């Protein structure tokens, strides 16, 4: 299987594994080196290799990401034995079109002015590595990155 085909298959597999998981845990690194995790609402957007989350642009997590953009996002659906750990680089995105595309009224409690809230922004996590629980393998399986598949 060539690299492009393997990457596309990996994206489809991750999309299936995280589908329907309403809340993910986003872990960032604080300036003092400690890890900080918090729940984030999973977007209904189709996974294409990037994960999207709404955030306030002035939040502590944004400060942490500006200091160290490496993050982890974990998903759990115990009822289906789905456990997924995603590592990648995060970035703050203020693209109005993307914000409008992903917006839902469920975000109003966090953004009182809705789409007009000056603090509304997105976090984009470009996925670099994925590990997931595989019951048949009896443990965590790491999906190869594009670089690893090229070897």
Question: Is residue 53, in this structure, part of any structural domain at all?
Answer: yes
**Domain span at 93:** 3-146
Residue 99 tokens, joined? 């914000």
Question: Is residue 151, in this structure, part of any structural domain at all?
Answer: no
Number of Cβ atoms within 10 Å of the Cβ of 14: 21
- Per DSSP, helices labelled H in 27-128 are 60-67, 96-102
Question: Is residue 34, in this structure, part of any structural domain at all?
Answer: yes
First to last CA, the chain: 12
Question: Is residue 43, in this structure, part of any structural domain at all?
Answer: yes
Question: Is residue 21, in this structure, part of any structural domain at all?
Answer: yes
Sequence-distant (6+) residues with CB within 8 A of 101 are 45
What does each of the 151 residues of the chain score in pLDDT, given as a tens digit? 566 666 677 788 888 888 889 999 999 999 999 999 999 998 877 888 899 999 999 999 999 999 999 999 999 999 888 899 999 999 999 999 999 999 999 899 999 999 999 999 999 999 999 998 877 667 777 876 554 444 4
pTM greater than 0.85 (yes/no) = yes
Overall domain count for the chain: 1
Give residue 80's pLDDT: 84
Question: Is residue 57, in this structure, part of any structural domain at all?
Answer: yes
- Per DSSP, helices labelled H in 38-138 are 60-67, 96-102
| Residue 84, domain CATH | 2.30.110.10
């Amino acid at each position: 299987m060539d690299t492009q085909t393997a990457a596309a298959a990996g994206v489809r597999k991750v999309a299936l594994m995280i589908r329907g998981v309403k809340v993910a845990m986003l872990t960032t690194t604080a300036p003092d080196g400690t890890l900080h995790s918090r729940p984030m609402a999973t977007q209904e957007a189709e996974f294409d290799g990037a994960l999207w989350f709404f955030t306030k642009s002035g939040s502590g997590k944004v400060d942490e990401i500006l200091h160290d953009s490496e993050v982890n996002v974990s998903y759990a659906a115990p009822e289906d034995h789905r456990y997924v750990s995603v590592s990648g680089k995060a970035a703050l995105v203020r693209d109005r079109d993307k914000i409008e595309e992903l917006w839902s009224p469920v975000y109003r409690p966090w953004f009182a002015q809705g789409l007009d809230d000056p603090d509304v922004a997105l976090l984009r996590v470009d996925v670099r590595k994925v590990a997931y629980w595989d019951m048949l393998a009896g443990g965590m399986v790491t999906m190869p990155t594009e670089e690893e598949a090229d070897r």
